[in-house]
Amino acid sequence: MVNLTIVIPIYNGFHNLPPLLKKLIPELENLNKKWEIIFVDDHSNDNSFNYLKERNKIDSRIKCIRLKNNSGQQNAVFCGLVHSLGEMIITMDDDLQHPIHIIRDLINKLNEGYDIVYAVNRSSDRPKSLSIGTWLNSLFFTLFLKKPQNVEIGSYRIMTRELVNNIKNIKNGFIYISAQIFNIVPRPKALSIFYIPDNERKKQQSRINLKSRFKLFKRLFLNYGPTKKITKEKGEPFLIERRL
């Protein structure tokens, strides 16, 4: 039985993988739990998959799924959730922006009876596009998905197996994980904890510009808003090319 799964989407992130695993594996070993790491390669054109293939030969707990097409970060994460085995599942980014040392805190909070716990960046120097994107997301989730106002969402989170099982069979052409989560009934018990980035971490860069964030908001509305029955995108959220 696997106690903990870490799902990490990657796209042309080869340079992040060695330092990420160097930090992540010791932290997981110290938990005294059976764990697995699932990297989902969103059809990278760098050496990411080959590197992970070699790491998998050394340690079978390090797994990788390569997608047949570039499907987007959310769909890649969804693929990892579908194939996860853990009783608890953490999703995080590959760029070392999410502090690994709070994994134990996330686990402890989840064990207090929550279905999902988000870890949210409280840095004062976040890019403006991230702040506006956060506001747009919060507005949508509060108005249409009845998310509690005191819960902030993000890509660094821990979920129960029951919650993942409830969302993994909802397969739209466009996936947004937190929208899937707050779209189910009854709505999950959620919590946000906050962290201040370490001084030595590089300054956070937004991967999505402001125009892209407005486009994302529009897709959120069409796929998870009040018109979703007639406007949601159809099709498979991901296609797998190879799985280790």
Statement: residue 202 has pLDDT above 90: no
Pick the residue with more confidence: 125 or 63? 63
Statement: residue 129 has pLDDT above 60: no
CA nearest to 174, candidates 140, 218, 142: 218
**Mean of the pLDDT values across residues 119-131?**
65
Cα 88 to the chain's mean position, in Å?
13
The pLDDT value recorded for residue 32 is 94
Domain definitions of the chain by residue range:
4-239
Statement: residue 243 has pLDDT above 70: yes
The pLDDT value recorded for residue 139 is 83
Which pLDDT band, with edges at 50, 70 and 90, does 187 fall under?
confident
Q: Which residues contact 110 (CB under 8 A, 6 or more apart)?
A: 88, 116, 117, 158, 159, 160
The pLDDT value recorded for residue 124 is 55
The predicted model scores a pTM of: 0.91
Contact between residue 52 and residue 116 where contact means Cβ atoms under 8 Å apart: no
Contact between residue 93 and residue 9 where contact means Cβ atoms under 8 Å apart: yes
Strands 62-67 and 157-160 turn out to be: unpaired
The pLDDT value recorded for residue 213 is 78
* Chain mean pLDDT for the chain: 90
> Which residue is listed with tokens 């989840």?
110
Determine how many CB atoms are found less than 10 A away from the CB of residue 95.
Answer: 17
Q: What's the rounded Cα separation, in Å, for the pair 37 and 124? A: 31
| Three-class secondary structure of residue 33 per DSSP | coil
Q: Of all helices (H) and strands (E), which one includes residue 48?
A: helix 48-58
**Mean of the pLDDT values across residues 108-114?**
97
Pick the residue with more confidence: 215 or 188? 188
What's at 201, amino acid-wise? R
Task: Out of 102-116, 132-146, 154-168, pick the least confident.
Answer: 132-146
The pLDDT value recorded for residue 200 is 43
Angle formed at CA 80 by CA 75 and CA 85, multiple of 5 degrees:
150
**Mean of the pLDDT values across residues 59-82?**
97
CATH 3.90.550.10 given to domain 4-239: yes
**Mean of the pLDDT values across residues 168-190?**
90
